[in-house]
Structure 1
Amino acid sequence: MGLDLSALKGRRVLLTGDTGFKGSWLALWLKELGAEVTGIALAPEHADGHYRSAGLESLYPHIDHDIRDGEGLAALVAEARPEVVFHLAAQALVRRSYDDPKTTFDTNVGGSVNVLEAIRRTPSVRAAVYITSDKCYRNKEWVWGYRESDELGGHDPYSASKAAAELVVSSYADSFFARRDGFGIASVRAGNVIGGGDWAQDRIVPDCMRALRDKRPIVLRNPDATRPWQHVLEPLGGYLTLACRLLDEPKRFPGGWNFGPHVASACSVGELVERIVAAWGSGEIRIERDPNAPHECNLLHLNTDKAALELGWHPRWAIDQTVRRTVEWYAATLGGADPRETSLAQIRAYMEAP
């Protein structure tokens, strides 16, 4: 059965963070659905990232703006008059959060407050989906998946900032939005996403693709860490599904929502890279453990029963197809294929998947 997201056709949709990896895929998908998209974010960090390679700057209006500027943000949101808001803008790297914790907290907590204030002052908004992270949970290194009701927390500044952001959105939902008629808001937490067009630093797939492209060994420093790997379209499909439900029944779907892969799709970094090399057809893997690396959790899974039971959402691509689609995107575009059309073909295939 295909994915029905027709409720978003013709809707005015605002995205923060549309120049990022997930944001650019979401913007392209929304345009494919017929939504009227406006993006607010910092300028793209990477010239060869998905936003620019897919030519999204010519596809919809985008404003370069730092969400830490609350008054400017509120004016931009008011001018756009969105019906739906997806908040993705964030400082999203764990290692960078150790180097610059203040900017991480200012962006991920203070910036999120600014987005919520802008929504509060814009009566056109009917649904808001507030993206945090699976790392908002206090990681106890246990083998079962974290549920939406589990304890929040964070060892590193990035994880702590996302846990704090969850408390912020919960407070706004209870204090200001519970009595706002015709409006629904929810937060979403996803696992580690992979897919075409990501060239960020300190992320495993971009590091792999740079090494394979340049015929260098892939160097792994923490090969035993296990993550809930999923294609970028998986959580985005969940975000879009949730937005449609909020438009239809705004008070029925509040709170936090997990969007993660099947348990069988969780694997170690080393296993993921072995699959990537196999899909590429060649490559060398080298283990160089860094005893001075900043702390990162080794084991993390999400329980997605709530999304399955209440939204009818389920992951569509298992780990083999996730890796295959990811490697195919890089191989095709490095070989000269059009990145936007390659991305759209994958979006259409995902929507038709059982």
Structure 2
Amino acid sequence: MNILVTGAAGFIGAHCVLRLLRDGHRVCGLDNFNDYYDPQLKHDRVRWVQEQVGSFPLAQIDLADAPAIEALFAREQPDAVIHLAAQAGVRYSLDNPKAYLDSNLSGFLNILEGCRHHPVKHLIYASSSSVYGANQHTPYSTHDGVNHPLSLYAATKKANELMAHSYSHLFGIPSTGLRFFTVYGPWGRPDMSPIRFAQAIVEGSPLKLFNYGQHQRDFTYIDDIVESIARLVDQPPSTAPDWDREQPDAASSMAPWRIYNIGGEHPVELKDYLALMEKHLGRKANVELLPLQPGDVLNTCADVHELERDTGFHPRIELDEGLRRFVAWFRDYYPLHAHAPLAAEQQG
């Protein structure tokens, strides 16, 4: 297939591009290389992919640039779109709300318009477990309502699901939304807990643990995310023939539209997650316990039985093994003076 991957220099995007190219697809990437975090990490991810599978077309375009997005679709004529680009981060949305409107709403509209005017066989787009918001019924099911987001970021992700549904209904665009649950692994974002925690432990600086470490998160290793996407890309949804307007199911539709959770199904308290990180780094953290932050949810846990039913795959990398792989990458990527002493301590 000819596949357009947006956010191709991002954490999930780079891993996804690598897998799709290895599977024999032709991939065109899109990324704006913004400075939400150090763009050098994004360039390094692209170089990492190219070192393994060779070069691939990568357009530096902002999602909000409607003419540029239209021109890209007209030129590439993709069979499928995997839309992973977005303004990420719950806490950043408290101070920079407009960035989320430009990227997550206007930008997503431009992708939908591209799929409308240059029909694709399948649009897969990233949603988030944050859409469950104030819902405390776990495990989170795609059949549950998601009407109480706790951050603007979460609200934009729910809006994406609704926008995709309307375009699926009106224009027959087969679309699949993926609610990711706390993705981690090599080449992750520096604003997420694995790199923040590892750097604090290495440096001996205070490590802020909000809600006194009692949050629970359903961690999902990056390879499990990518495997799920690879299996879904050539399985576009169809209309649900038994969908009932009187009792509408939130996970499917009379339109060719579906929602899946992708998570590990094994929530872990952050203090236990930190203990595993300490084990693999061979050092103890200097922990600063703090109260709950605005916008944070207390716990997440994914119900993924429908993903397994439709793809035959269930996320399988345990947190201990995933963090071992992450720490190996962290030591390799970040400065040698930070990880050389760690190796000695670990051996001891």
TM bin (shorter chain) = 0.7 to 0.9
Give the counterpart letter for 2:185 in structure 1: G
Does structure 1 conserve the Cα–Cα contact (< 8 Å) formed by 2:209 and 2:287? yes
Report what 2:265 is aligned to. 262
Q: Among the aligned pairs, what percent are the same residue? A: 24
Give the SS at the match of 1:218: strand
Give the counterpart letter for 2:146 in structure 1: L
Post-superposition Cα deviations, 1:124-166, rounded to whole Å, max 9, x if no partner, equal x222111111112243223x21211211231210011111111
Q: Find the aligned partners of 2:231 and 2:286 in 1 and give their Cα distance.
A: 38
Shift of 1:185: 2.1
Are the structure 2 counterparts of residues 50 and 212 from structure 1 closer, same or farther at C-alpha, using a change threshold of 3 Å?
farther
Q: Find the aligned partners of 2:144 and 2:296 in 1 and give their Cα distance.
A: 19
Q: How many pairs were matched up?
A: 313
Give the SS at the match of 2:150: coil
Q: Residue 63 in 1 paired to residue 93 in 2?
A: no
Give the SS at the match of 2:33: coil
Give the SS at the match of 2:260: strand
Report what 1:232 is aligned to. 222
* Residue 98 (structure 1) aligned to one of 72, 94, 100: 94
TM-score, structure 1 as length reference = 0.82
Post-superposition Cα deviations, 1:273-324, rounded to whole Å, max 9, x if no partner, equal 1111111111323123157x42311112111111112221201212222222
Cα RMSD for the two superposed structures: 2.2
**Structure 1: gaps (5+ residues):** 1-10, 179-183, 337-354
Does structure 1 conserve the Cα–Cα contact (< 8 Å) formed by 2:202 and 2:283? no
Post-superposition Cα deviations, 1:74-101, rounded to whole Å, max 9, x if no partner, equal 1112211211210011111001111111
* Residue 80 (structure 1) aligned to one of 76, 83, 101: 76
Post-superposition Cα deviations, 1:171-196, rounded to whole Å, max 9, x if no partner, equal 11111116xxxxx3211111001111
| Segment of structure 1 superposing worse, 103-112 or 324-333 | 324-333
**Structure 2: gaps (5+ residues):** 241-255, 337-348
Shift of 1:250: 5.7
Report what 1:165 is aligned to. 160
* Residue 210 (structure 1) aligned to one of 199, 202, 205: 199
Give the SS at the match of 1:258: strand
Post-superposition Cα deviations, 1:47-102, rounded to whole Å, max 9, x if no partner, equal 45255145147721111111112222011122112112100111110011111112
Give the SS at the match of 2:118: coil
Q: Find the aligned partners of 2:180 and 2:194 in 1 and give their Cα distance.
A: 17
Alignment of 1:304-319 (within 5 A): 304-319=304-319
Give the counterpart letter for 1:95 in structure 2: R
Give the counterpart letter for 1:96 in structure 2: Y
Report what 1:342 is aligned to. none
Are the structure 2 counterparts of residues 155 and 217 from structure 1 closer, same or farther at C-alpha, using a change threshold of 3 Å?
closer
Alignment of 1:1-354 (within 5 A): 11-43=1-33, 45=35, 46-49=38-41, 51-53=43-45, 55=47, 56=49, 59-123=55-119, 125-142=120-137, 144-153=138-147, 154-177=149-172, 184-201=174-191, 203-222=192-211, 223-246=213-236, 254-263=257-266, 266-289=267-290, 293-334=293-334
Q: Find the aligned partners of 1:302 and 1:271 in 2 and give their Cα distance.
A: 19
Does structure 1 conserve the Cα–Cα contact (< 8 Å) formed by 2:64 and 2:102? yes
Does structure 2 conserve the Cα–Cα contact (< 8 Å) formed by 1:260 and 1:304? yes
